[in-house]
Amino acid sequence: MQGIWLENKRLSLSQNLPIPKPKTEEALVRVLKAGICNTDLELLRGYYPYQGVLGHEFVGIVEEGPSIFKNQRVVGEINASCGVCEFCRRGLKTHCFERTVLGIVNHHGAFAQYLTLPIENLHLVPQNVDTETATFTEPIAAALEIQEQINITSAEKVLVVGDGKLGQLVAQTLFLTGCDLVVIGRHQDKLNLLNTLGIKTHVGETIPERTFDVAVECTGNPVGFDLARRSLRPRGTLVLKSTYAGKLTLDASALVVDEITVIGSRCGPFAKALDLLAQDKIKVKPMISAHYPLSEGLRAFDKAQTRGTLKVLLDISSELM
């Protein structure tokens, strides 16, 4: 099969990859569409020493698996856990000691014609959600994880730092809580997408300091981190949603003196994400900047790294059986 291969910080389009064979309790999924995300770009820059097929945001059709999924469209949670370690026993499978992570850690990903995942990781796509829209399930779930970790109500004043792909989805999911929300970014055209939804935005790199109860950092760069930290009132909460390819320098004394709570936030609830999409409560199509066939995957990565680009989708195979 064809796939996009990462090795030593270099991408290549491989034409002769073996079709993966599902293990016991796994399904074979033919990938329909997949999205390029910032984690893929950070892997390309070397944030984690991964070698293999990239990609973890996908929609596919199950070709080998149980009857409930057979020939149905699915999305899949990306962490494949062992089921027996301490964290698995505690119900924290995303922190499994032995886990693999689709397209990130020891598990070939979605930028290929086929992938395998544990059956328990799969979720059926609602019939009223089209395949293009469903490709956003994984990042919406990641955005929703913030609300799994902390209770955000209409009483909170919340800042989202970053107007990129993740910042857009974090903002939309937080907006549904009724909180007093502001999104700060550098790109007026991207912020305008949020303005049309009624979300307040601010362009630039300055914001009133010591004002917000919660700040969510979605840029993955030191400037965004510092801005988010300085925006918080004493005993505020700083949520980190981005991976960082380089080292991050921070003023630890300020965190201690103001008693700031710092929370790392990663993967989230797929069922809730699909429910929001089925109810049309999250608008994703305005975020799509381009489509490319898998055969032009290297061009797709070039586009994804171009200034002003939001989501780039790879069209991998047809939905027709």
Look-up of token digits 């489509």: 291
Strands 180-185 and 200-203, sheet pairing: parallel
Domain map (residue ranges) of the chain = 3-136+284-315, 141-264
Residue 187, C-beta contacts closer than 8 angstroms, at least 6 positions apart: 163, 203, 308
The pLDDT score that the predictor gives to residue 247 is: 74
Q: In the numeric block, which tokens belong to residue 141?
A: 């779930």
pTM of the model: 0.95
The pLDDT score that the predictor gives to residue 245 is: 62
Q: In the numeric block, which tokens belong to residue 258?
A: 């103001």
CA distance 219 to 229: 13
CATH number of 3-136+284-315: 3.90.180.10
Of 272, 300, 316, nearest to 114 by C-alpha is: 316
The pLDDT score that the predictor gives to residue 320 is: 65
Strands 3-7 and 200-203, sheet pairing: unpaired
Strands 311-315 and 288-293, sheet pairing: parallel
pLDDT tens, per residue, the chain with 321 residues: 999 999 999 999 999 999 999 999 999 999 999 999 999 999 998 888 899 999 999 999 999 999 999 999 999 999 999 999 999 999 999 999 999 999 999 999 999 999 999 999 999 999 999 999 999 999 999 999 999 999 999 999 999 999 999 999 999 999 999 999 999 999 999 999 999 999 999 999 889 999 999 999 999 888 999 999 999 999 999 999 987 666 778 888 989 999 999 999 999 999 999 999 999 999 999 999 999 999 999 999 999 999 999 999 999 998 764
> What values do phi and psi take at 306, rounded to 5?
-85, 135
Three-class DSSP labels, the chain: CCEEEEECCEEEEECCCCCCCCCCCEEEEEEEEEEECHHHHHHHHCCCCCCEECCCEEEEEEEECCCCCECCEEEECCEECCCCCHHHHCCCHHHCCCCEECCCECCCCCCECEEEEEHHHEEECCCCCCHHHHCCHHHHHHHHHHHHHCCCCCCCEEEEECCCHHHHHHHHHHHCCCCEEEEEECCHHHHHHHHCCCCEEEECCCCCCCCEEEEEECCCCHHHHHHHHHHEEEEEEEEECCCCCCCCCCCHHHHHHCCCEEEECCCCCHHHHHHHHHCCCCCCHHHEEEEEEHHHHHHHHHHHCCCCCCEEEEECCCCCC
One-letter amino acid of 216? V
Q: Which CATH number fits domain 141-264: 3.40.50.1820, 3.90.550.10, 3.30.300.30, 3.40.50.720?
A: 3.40.50.720
Strands 26-36 and 57-64, sheet pairing: antiparallel
CA distance 5 to 103: 10
CA distance 137 to 187: 24
**Contact call for residues 167 and 186 (beta carbons, < 8 A):** no
Residue 222, C-beta contacts closer than 8 angstroms, at least 6 positions apart: 248, 249
- For residue 93, CA distances in Å to 41, 131, 276 come to 25, 27, 23
> Exposed, middle or buried, 208 (CB in 10 Å: 0-12/13-18/19+)?
exposed
CA distance 74 to 118: 12
